Amino acid sequence: MSKTKDLAILATIAVVMCCVFIVDLYVPLGTAVWLLYILPLALSFATTLPWAPVATAAIGCLAMLAGFWLGLNNGGVAPHVAATNRTMAAIVYLVLGFTGRVLIRNRKVLAREAWLREGEALLSRTVPGDPTAEQLGERILSVLAGRVNARAALVWSAGGGGLRKLAAWGVDQAALAERDGVADGHLARCLAEGQAVQLTLAPDQALGWGSGLARGRAAHALIVPLGDDRRSDGILEFGFDAPPPRRVVELFDRLSERLGLALRSAEYRQRLQELLEETRHQAEELRSHAEELSASNEELEEQSRALQDSQRRLEQQQAELEQQNSQLESQTQELEDQRDALARSRRQLEAKTVELARESRYKSEFVANMSHELRTPLNALLIMSRLLAENRGRNLSDEQIRWAETIESSGKDLLALINDILDLSKIESGKMDLAREAVDPQAIAAKLGRAFQDQARVKGLQLSLEVAPDTPQIQTDPGRLEQVLRNFLSNALKFTDRGRVTLRVAPAGTGVAFSVADTGIGIDADQQQAVFEAFRQADGTISRKFGGTGLGLSISRQLADLLGGRITLESAKGRGSTFTLTLPEAPEGQGAAPAPLPAPDQAAPAEDTPAPLAALPGLSDDRDIVQPGDRVMLVVEDDPAFARVLYELAHELGFRCVCVDRADDAVRAARRFMPQAIALDIRLPDHSGLSALDRLKRDTATRHIPVHVISAEDYTREALAQGAVGYMLKPVARDQLETAIRSLERRLASRLRRVLIVEDDPAQMEGLRALLASDEVETVGAGTAAEAFDICRSQTVDCIVLDMTLPDASGFDLLERLDADGTASFPPVIVYTARALDEAEEQRLRRYSKSIIIKGAKSPERLINEVTLFLHQVVSDLPEKQREMLAASLNRDALLEGRRILVVEDDIRNVYALTGVFEPHGATVQIARNGREALEALGRINDGAAPRVDLVLMDVMMPEMDGLTATREIRKIDRWKTLPIIMLTAKAMAEDQNRCIEAGANDYLSKPLDVDKLLSLTRVWMPR
């Protein structure tokens, strides 16, 4: 091992020496490359060869001399200075070389001494105790044989006038048996001289060693006497493959006397032990004879008494057995009767279980199919009413638009009723899953207070929260808890015309009580039990004042049972009501079937109010204290810890901060608070943050707000193309976040934007400057690529409009030059050219350009759209002409224009509705009625018989082949592995989304479809 290491080090020294010498040849004399010769010299210190440092130093000196003579023509410092430097370095290297030689010698001496002392220490730990001579011999060999790398070893005892083998290690026992006890030859010589004897033998004369798989002979033997100068007590004999090193002989010289004394002591102890054992054995024999006689007499007496007792017991047992036999016969008959009854009951239970399972399956299938059958026509109704309300053709009157909005509102009410029925069915069939976690009641109360504050203010009611300070945390499902309390609060607000509604949270025994008290109409005592039944209300007459289905409290009661709690009611007609939900701190299990409660509650569901903004758990933001004129930052992040970091950083930089965790809430919050900056995550619980970014940038009220994306997934290209100002990949350091927010702040402070127009045609240049100029936009023109590059290096540019055909260079050359030059600003680039681009050129441009526009009749409108997007201009501040052109561009939707979408749907109403959604945006809709027709359509595209499809909208429930099976089959085809597929389903089960994603879909939407979400998801997944 040491030789291999030395050879490796010497090879490394040679390689490093050559590399340094080569570098020295090509570097001017003034550069002290020769100092690197210290590296091979330092490596030589790691060898075990004393001559290596000296040789390395000498070779390094020769290499420096050769490098000096061969490098005289390379220039640098004066030759005499270089010669002086190299001479001094050579002296230092030689001194270090001889120092290394001394160091290696001393290291070897120390290693040898350490090896000897380690051997002595190992043997000292082995010898103590009272071992026998044989045990001592085995211990000695087990330590020393491996230590000295012997092949075989023996220990002989020299007591009694001959040799006695005490132990053997690795020796061929068959050959050894012939030599045992023979005290002659070199063994006798070793005993007589008291000195170690070394022998070198021919292979056929040496004693053999062996194992289960190998045999051999030790050609070199070392015989070592054990004892002092006056007496030898034994012999150690070792066999080696090669002559033993000097350190092995020295080790045995040090250990010989100690081992001889230990062997002598062991033999003395063994002899004394044998004498003691013999004496003890004789005394034991005498004592045992006396005890045997005495025991024999006692045993005979005991046996006589035992026989008498046994006879009496046998007579008693016989009588008892006769009595027990009669009892067992009667019990056996009773057990047989019970067994037959149990078997009949078990068969009945099994039949009932099978029947219940079948009924549960039928009910689940009915719920899923009912959801599909209800949501499918409802989807067409909502989409068509939405399209009518938008009045894109400008051919409807205001009254007709209100009718369409009323149809849409009624459809949403019907959707809420369907959701309630599905919740009730899932609870009754045991399909409702709970996700228990630690919940802070104070945070729940604050969240609900913020959610219902606006509704209470509209009705002129006072909504107050009362939370006891000693309220503990509880283990429950926060979503289901909020669902119950939302129902309580919405009922209280609905049935209260004046006064107040109070949400109280306080400890209650071993749990927590959530109470909602109102000053509303109250409930009669005889109606309090009925309102918890499904579809029952306190006032169910045809002349009732308040609407609703009566499902809310029925669902709430069953949810309370599932959470391990209970609901109680205190109410009187005309005095208001108090609903109390009591939950344990840590329930032992989940409730099963709902049980009737002694005090139920009032019976009206929540009104259809605008969805409130959900708050992040454990984080209170500034949404309730934002005032007009405040600088607001919106954080869209589902990780509370990271959201808190952004919240604190926003405060440090002087922003109010509002935090939400869903894409839909992000759009609503942006429209409500109109923030000055938005920090957006991509992976959100409801759907992709890219769809929220798309909806923000397509809304003229929010498209100017700068959005910085911070996500663990890399969608940099897509986000920047949609108008994001920056993109950061998690994990992100705090100083990076601060820099990003400060850049947003600087962008807000700078009102004047500068647009660089690179165009060689003077007429086109003037037209573009007139088109893009405004009070907040300064246009700068450049007719050549060189002029444009100089402007980017000397000025701050916010956006570049680039023609690809220039007199001195192409647009590609300018973009690549800007990308390579770190001193020039490289803002968003919009390629505006009349040149037709092939696919390879377009892909090449996508590396640098955010948008590519081909000049044509509609291109100015799209150019206005892209420039205002990347400059983050407020639409209301644009000139009237630019606003009109922007509106025309947004209506056409460049991402959808000219694209082909395959709609796989069996319901003609939905096909008609989806066609009405996409065709006004310039997309072509192709229809397939089921999964099999979709595969056939893609097959024709694969064969070149039909135009390509850019995206697929796939329904789930269809005849012949369902959407999940069709999606799996599509993903098996190599060409369609990346084809975007968005699943559309009318089922409302929780596992639907996971099943769609597992089948290979890119995203998922449930019916009835939200038109804005559908368009946004289509734009996000549409290939660019």
- Superfamily classification of domain 632-748: Response regulator (3.40.50.2300)
851: nearest Cα among 799, 920, 789: 799
Q: Write out pLDDT tens, residues 754-810.
A: 888 888 878 777 777 777 777 677 888 888 888 888 888 888 787 888 887 788 887
Q: Write out pLDDT tens, residues 319-343.
A: 888 888 888 888 888 888 888 888 8
Q: Rounded to whole angstroms, how far apart are CA atoms 891 and 698? A: 10
| Three-state SS at 630 | coil
pLDDT of residue 635: 93
Classify burial at 163, counting beta carbons within 10 Å of its beta carbon; exposed 0-12, middle 13-18, buried 19 or more.
Answer: buried
Q: Rounded to whole angstroms, how far apart are CA atoms 246 and 534? A: 100
Q: Which of 308-312, 580-584, 606-610, 837-841 has the lowest mean pLDDT?
A: 606-610
Higher pLDDT, 387 or 505: 505
- SS3 letters across 931-998: HHHHHHHHHHHHCCCCCCCCEEEEECCCCCCCHHHHHHHHHCCHHHCCCCEEEEECCCCCCHHHHHHH
Number of C-alpha atoms within 13 angstroms, CB side, residue 685? 11
Residue 114 in tokens: 């350490």
Considering the segment(s) 150-259 as one domain, its CATH architecture is 2-Layer Sandwich (3.30)
**Whose structure tokens read 């989940």?**
590
**Is the pLDDT confidence value at 959 over 80?**
yes
pLDDT tier, 593 (very low <50, low <70, confident <90, very high otherwise): very low
30 C-beta neighbours (distance < 10 Å), count: 13
**Whose structure tokens read 């064969």?**
943
**Where would I find the beta strands (DSSP E) of 192-253?**
197-200, 208-210, 215-217, 220-227, 232-240
Q: Which of 132-136, 356-360, 540-544 has the lowest mean pLDDT?
A: 540-544
Q: Write out pLDDT tens, residues 276-296.
A: 888 888 888 888 888 888 888
pLDDT of residue 610: 46
pLDDT of residue 71: 67
Supply angle C-alpha 657, 658, 664, rounded to 5: 150
List, in order, residues 6 or more apart from 430 with CB less than 8 Å away: 360, 592
pLDDT tier, 634 (very low <50, low <70, confident <90, very high otherwise): very high
Q: Write out pLDDT tens, residues 140-184.
A: 777 777 777 777 887 777 766 677 777 777 776 665 545 555 566
For the chain, the C-alpha Rg in angstroms (whole number) is 48
* Percent of the chain predicted with pLDDT > 70: 76
List, in order, residues 6 or more apart from 548 with CB less than 8 Å away: 494, 537, 603, 604, 605
pLDDT tier, 856 (very low <50, low <70, confident <90, very high otherwise): very low
pLDDT of residue 371: 60
663: nearest Cα among 352, 205, 216, 1017: 1017
Classify burial at 120, counting beta carbons within 10 Å of its beta carbon; exposed 0-12, middle 13-18, buried 19 or more.
Answer: middle
Q: Rounded to whole angstroms, how far apart are CA atoms 643 and 735? A: 15
Give me the CATH code for the 750-892 domain, please.
3.40.50.2300
Considering the segment(s) 437-584 as one domain, its CATH architecture is 2-Layer Sandwich (3.30)
- Superfamily classification of domain 900-1021: Response regulator (3.40.50.2300)
Number of C-alpha atoms within 13 angstroms, CB side, residue 667? 21
Global pTM exceeds 0.75: no
- SS3 letters across 559-598: HHHHCCCEEEEEEECCCEEEEEEEEECCCCCCCCCCCCCC
Q: Rounded to whole angstroms, how far apart are CA atoms 940 and 943? A: 5
Q: Rounded to whole angstroms, how far apart are CA atoms 732 and 189? A: 82
**Is the pLDDT confidence value at 425 over 90?**
no
923: nearest Cα among 891, 941, 900: 900
Q: Write out pLDDT tens, residues 532-561.
A: 665 455 444 333 444 444 567 777 887 888
Q: What is the mean pLDDT of residues 1-19?
A: 84
pLDDT of residue 636: 93
Q: Rounded to whole angstroms, how far apart are CA atoms 163 and 181? A: 5
Classify burial at 153, counting beta carbons within 10 Å of its beta carbon; exposed 0-12, middle 13-18, buried 19 or more.
Answer: buried
pLDDT tier, 420 (very low <50, low <70, confident <90, very high otherwise): low
pLDDT tier, 515 (very low <50, low <70, confident <90, very high otherwise): very high
Amino acid identity, residue 724? A
Specify whether the CB–CB gap between 722 and 634 falls below 8 A: no
Q: Rounded to whole angstroms, how far apart are CA atoms 933 and 626? A: 55
pLDDT of residue 400: 76
pLDDT of residue 41: 85
Residue 783 in tokens: 């007719």
The alpha carbon of 139 is separated from its chain's Cα centroid by a whole number of angstroms, namely 55
For the chain, the 3-state helix, strand and coil shares in percent, each to the nearest 5, are 55, 15, 30
User: Going by DSSP bridges, is the β-strand pair 437-439/474-476 parallel, antiparallel, or unpaired?
Assistant: antiparallel
Q: Rounded to whole angstroms, how far apart are CA atoms 877 and 446? A: 38
| Three-state SS at 524 | coil
Please count the helices (runs of H) and the strands (runs of E) in the chain.
Answer: 28, 29
Same fold? 437-584, 632-748: no
Specify whether the CB–CB gap between 995 and 982 falls below 8 A: no
Q: Rounded to whole angstroms, how far apart are CA atoms 892 and 922? A: 6
Higher pLDDT, 386 or 828: 828
Q: Where are the domains of the chain?
A: 2-123, 150-259, 437-584, 632-748, 750-892, 900-1021
Q: Rounded to whole angstroms, how far apart are CA atoms 995 and 976? A: 19
**For residue 731, cis peptide bond before it (omega within 30 degrees of 0):** yes
Q: Rounded to whole angstroms, how far apart are CA atoms 431 and 441? A: 26
Q: Write out pLDDT tens, residues 71-113.
A: 666 666 677 777 788 888 888 888 888 988 888 888 888 877 7
826: nearest Cα among 866, 798, 803: 798
**Whose structure tokens read 């055909």?**
805
Q: Write out pLDDT tens, residues 392-401.
A: 667 778 777 7
Length of the chain: 1024
Q: Which of 139-143, 625-629, 915-919, 931-935 has the highest mean pLDDT?
A: 931-935
Q: What is the mean pLDDT of residues 630-636?
A: 91
Q: Write out pLDDT tens, residues 960-1019.
A: 899 999 999 999 998 898 899 998 876 545 466 778 888 899 888 877 777 777 888 888
Supply angle C-alpha 138, 141, 143, rounded to 5: 110
Q: Rounded to whole angstroms, how far apart are CA atoms 1018 and 1022? A: 6
pLDDT tier, 503 (very low <50, low <70, confident <90, very high otherwise): very high
Mean pLDDT score across all residues of the chain: 77
Higher pLDDT, 550 or 912: 912
